[in-house]
């Protein structure tokens, strides 16, 4: 059994490192004059969990999609490159979007679908803590990007906005 104090300490160090990295990128982009073009980047669910610990724990305990990247990796050999890329749109965080998932090596913190899949990129909200800097209230419309009629028939879909993941 892992020592909970050690686990919390390791998570705290990781979260601090992610915040430092986020600050570095924001300052770099501002210095380059491109901050207005790339206002929001994906920071990963661990950053969200710093302030939203209860929601983070519930999501990781109850959401089936938390490890869905592993499922598409099992099917990858049977898919074309384009089909696999289409899978990444819903089974990672921010794939194909500025600051989103690129690869396991480059963006491991975005490998699995997390908070920002539904709530949008969290960099501004993580810095400002302003609720207006993130998508707070969700509707079924946000779910339908991934959970559409074509895909819903393939699994038992119940959106977590109604299912209690928060």
Reported confidence tier of residue 147, pLDDT bands at 50, 70, 90: confident
Instruction: Tell whether the model's pLDDT for residue 108 goes beyond 80.
Output: yes
Q: How far apart are alpha carbons 138 and 160 in whole angstroms?
A: 10
- Position 72 scores a pLDDT of 87
Mean pLDDT within 38-50:
87
Record the tokens describing residue 93, joined without a space.
Answer: 């965080």
pTM exceeding 0.85 = no
- Position 104 scores a pLDDT of 92
Q: How far apart are alpha carbons 66 and 45 in whole angstroms?
A: 10
Extract long-range pairs of 88-92: CB within 8 Å, 24+ residues apart. 89/146, 90/117, 90/145, 90/146, 90/151, 91/65
Domain containing 117: what range? 4-163
Mean pLDDT of the chain: 77
Q: How far apart are alpha carbons 88 and 20 in whole angstroms?
A: 27
CB atoms inside a 10 Å sphere around CB 58: 15
Reported confidence tier of residue 116, pLDDT bands at 50, 70, 90: very high
Least confident of 101-110, 122-131, 152-161: 152-161
Calculate what percentage of the chain has a pLDDT beyond 70: 67
- For residue 27, count CB atoms less than 10 angstroms from its CB and return exposed for 0-12, middle for 13-18, buried for 19 or more: exposed
- Position 38 scores a pLDDT of 53
Quote the number of domains for the chain: 1
- Position 6 scores a pLDDT of 45
* 149-to-28, 31, 93, 166 alpha-carbon distances in Å: 42, 44, 21, 24
- Position 1 scores a pLDDT of 53
Instruction: Tell whether the model's pLDDT for residue 164 goes beyond 80.
Output: no
Instruction: Tell whether the model's pLDDT for residue 30 goes beyond 90.
Output: no
- Position 34 scores a pLDDT of 44
Instruction: Tell whether the model's pLDDT for residue 29 goes beyond 80.
Output: no
């Amino acid at each position: 059994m892992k020592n909970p104090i050690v686990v919390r300490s390791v998570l705290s160090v990781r979260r601090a490192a992610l915040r430092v990295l986020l600050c570095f990128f924001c300052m770099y982009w501002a210095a380059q004059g491109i901050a207005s073009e790339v206002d929001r980047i994906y920071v990963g669910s661990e950053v969200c969990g710093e302030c939203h610990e209860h929601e983070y724990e519930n999501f990781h305990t109850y959401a089936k999609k938390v490890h869905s990247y592993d499922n598409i990796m099992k099917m990858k050999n049977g898919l074309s490159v384009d089909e696999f890329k289409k899978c990444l749109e819903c089974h990672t965080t921010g794939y194909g979007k500025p600051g989103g998932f690129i690869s396991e090596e480059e963006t491991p913190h975005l490998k699995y679908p997390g908070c920002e899949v539904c709530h949008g990129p969290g960099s501004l909200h993580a810095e400002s803590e302003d609720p207006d800097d993130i998508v707070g209230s969700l509707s079924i419309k946000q779910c339908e990007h991934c959970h559409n009629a074509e895909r819903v028939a393939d699994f038992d879909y119940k959106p977590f906005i109604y299912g209690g993941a928060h």
